[in-house]
A and B are shown apart, each in its own frame.
Chain A
Amino acid sequence: NAGVTQTPKFQVLKTGQSMTLQCAQDMNHNSMYWYRQDPGMGLRLIYYSASEGTTDKGEVPNGYNVSRLNKREFSLRLESAAPSQTSVYFCASTRPDNHLEETQYFGPGTRLLVL
């Protein structure tokens, strides 16, 4: 199993450009999450999805949109990138129906620089 994969690994954007960050998991997890991590700080939740076709806002959703394409894939879109969105973005997945055995798995991250 590859676990949680993210593409691209790095991206440089100009202010106002758009892009989509891709995330996929092969663990048959129902729940998927997008976080951002700024330097020296912990992760903050942007959006999450409990199942295919459902999405909900997290702590910092402004400036982002998401799509839960199917059970495996959860994408994050920046419609008009701003320098404040320079960050490292992590995707995660879990199956929360049995917390005694399941854990939350994170992808390797996408490093985004907005000029």
Chain B
Amino acid sequence: LAKTTQPISMDSYEGQEVNITCSHNNIATNDYITWYQQFPSQGPRFIIQGYKTKVTNEVASLFIPADRKSSTLSLPRVSLSDTAVYYCLVGDVGTTDSWGKLQFGAGTQVVVTP
């Protein structure tokens, strides 16, 4: 399983762009990069998933360089409601077993202030 490393915490002001980088040096060929968001007292919520290059949805963008040894989650123009813990998970997501093997680390606590 690919081990991931991400910052413990990040602070930002409203309206700024937040970029969280996750390192995963031993990512395997079949592995995807998946990011979750978790608000206090709630279950994690899937944000975005990618394999290579760039993926964008209505919530965030995910940048993955050619070597795939890291990835960056970009949250554009954050608001107070984006204060949450963000988890980077790396692994195959093609089967039940593989989803279950995705490991949640401690995540990155993002705090957005006015």
A interface vs B, CB < 8 Å? 4, 30-31, 33, 35, 40-45, 48-51, 56, 58, 90, 92, 94, 96-97, 99, 103-109
Residues on the A chain within 8 Å of B107, using CB: 42
Residues on the B chain within 8 Å of A103, using CB: 46, 49
Q: Is the CB of B42 within 8 A of A108?
A: yes
Q: What separation, in Å, do the CA atoms of A105 and B42 have in the docked complex?
A: 12
Q: What separation, in Å, do the CA atoms of A41 and B103 have in the docked complex?
A: 11
Interface size on B, residues (CB 8 A): 23
Q: How far is the CB of A5 from chain B (nearest CB, A)?
A: 11
Q: What separation, in Å, do the CA atoms of A42 and B94 have in the docked complex?
A: 22
Given the known interface contacts A96-B99, A99-B49, the answer about A109 and B41 at a Cβ–Cβ threshold of 8 Å is yes
Residues on the B chain within 8 Å of A42, using CB: 87, 103-107
Q: Is the CB of A104 within 8 A of B99?
A: yes
